[in-house]
C-alpha cells in the first residue's frame, strides 16, 4: 500500500457508506500522493501500479485487495481514475458493466454518465455488438471476445460535477466520459469480485477490435506530473 498522511481505510469506509465527508478526505489523499512523488522510490512504486486505459484515463491502484489487513475492507480495492489529456488522449468509452459493485466520488472536472438497458420496445434502439471482457490481472494486455449482436436503449444521461457520488451495481450498463478535454478524476472503492467476466457493448457502426490490446504503463515522471496536475486542480 502507498503510505499517506490520511488513512486510506477512512476513505474506503466513507465511500462504502456514502458519507458526505468523502470528497474532502479523498482530495486530501490525492494531495498526499502528489506530494509523495517528490521521492523517487515512491514515483517508481506508483508507476508500477498504474496503467493507461484504452478508454481514455489513467488508472492507479492506491490500495489492492490484499493490502488492507483484517477488517471490513478485505477484498476491496481503492482506485483512482484520471482523465488527463496530457497522458491519455480522449477516446469514446465503450459501454459496459463490471464484475463488481463500486462507489465513487468525482474529485474535479465534470463527467457525463450514460446509463443503458437492453431494448424492450421503448426509447430509441441502439444496435450494438456485445463482447466479453476478462480482467488482464497482472498481464500487459487483454482481448475482447465476440458474443454477438444485441440492442440497447439509453436509460438516461446526467452531468456530474465536483463532489458527485455514485453507487453502481454489477448489472448496470453504463458509459462515463469527461465533459470537456480537461482534467477530471474519480476515486472509487471497488467491492469484491462477484463474477468472472464483464459485458462490453460497442455501437454496431464502430465494431471493436478483437486483437490483443496492450496496456501502457506510464513512466514514473509522467505519472508524477499527472498527480501534480490533479492536485493543483483540487484547489
Q: Is 196 exposed, middle or buried (0-12, 13-18, 19+ CB in 10 A)?
A: exposed
pLDDT in tens, 26-59: 999 999 999 999 999 999 999 999 999 888 899 9
Tell which residue, 156, 181, 7, has the closest CA to residue 89: 181
Low-confidence residues of the chain: pLDDT under 50 = 5
Tell which residue, 136, 146, 192, 142, has the closest CA to residue 16: 192
Question: What pLDDT, on the 0 to 100 scale, is given for residue 5?
Answer: 44
Sign of the alpha-carbon dihedral angle for 95, 154, 60, 182: positive
- pTM value? 0.93
* Strand, helix or coil for residue 96: strand
Tell which residue, 117, 225, 122, 221, has the closest CA to residue 171: 117
Averaged pLDDT of the chain: 91
Amino acid at each position: 500500500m502507498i503510505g499517506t498522511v490520511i488513512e486510506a481505510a477512512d476513505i474506503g469506509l466513507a465511500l462504502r457508506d456514502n458519507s458526505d465527508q468523502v470528497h474532502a478526505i479523498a482530495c486530501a489523499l490525492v494531495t498526499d500522493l502528489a506530494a509523495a512523488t517528490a521521492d523517487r522510490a515512491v514515483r517508481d512504486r506508483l508507476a508500477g501500479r498504474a496503467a493507461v486505459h484504452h478508454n481514455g484515463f489513467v488508472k492507479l491502484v492506491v490500495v489492492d485487495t490484499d493490502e488492507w489487513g483484517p477488517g471490513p475492507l478485505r477484498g476491496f480495492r481503492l482506485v483512482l481514475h484520471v482523465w488527463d489529456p496530457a497522458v491519455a488522449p480522449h477516446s469514446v468509452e465503450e459501454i459496459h458493466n463490471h464484475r463488481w459493485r463500486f462507489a465513487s466520488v468525482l474529485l474535479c472536472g465534470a463527467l457525463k454518465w450514460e446509463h443503458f438497458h437492453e431494448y424492450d420496445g421503448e426509447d430509441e434502439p441502439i444496435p450494438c455488438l456485445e463482447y466479453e471482457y476478462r480482467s488482464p490481472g497482472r498481464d500487459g494486455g487483454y482481448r475482447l471476445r465476440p458474443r454477438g449482436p444485441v440492442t440497447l436503449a439509453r436509460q438516461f444521461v446526467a452531468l456530474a460535477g465536483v463532489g458527485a457520488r455514485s453507487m453502481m451495481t454489477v448489472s448496470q450498463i453504463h458509459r462515463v466520459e469527461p465533459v470537456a478535454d480537461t482534467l477530471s478524476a474519480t476515486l472509487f472503492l471497488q467491492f469484491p469480485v462477484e463474477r468472472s467476466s464483464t459485458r462490453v457493448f460497442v455501437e454496431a457502426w464502430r465494431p471493436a477490435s478483437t486483437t490483443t490490446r496492450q496496456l501502457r504503463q506510464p513512466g514514473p515522471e509522467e505519472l508524477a506530473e499527472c498527480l501534480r496536475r490533479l492536485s493543483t486542480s483540487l484547489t
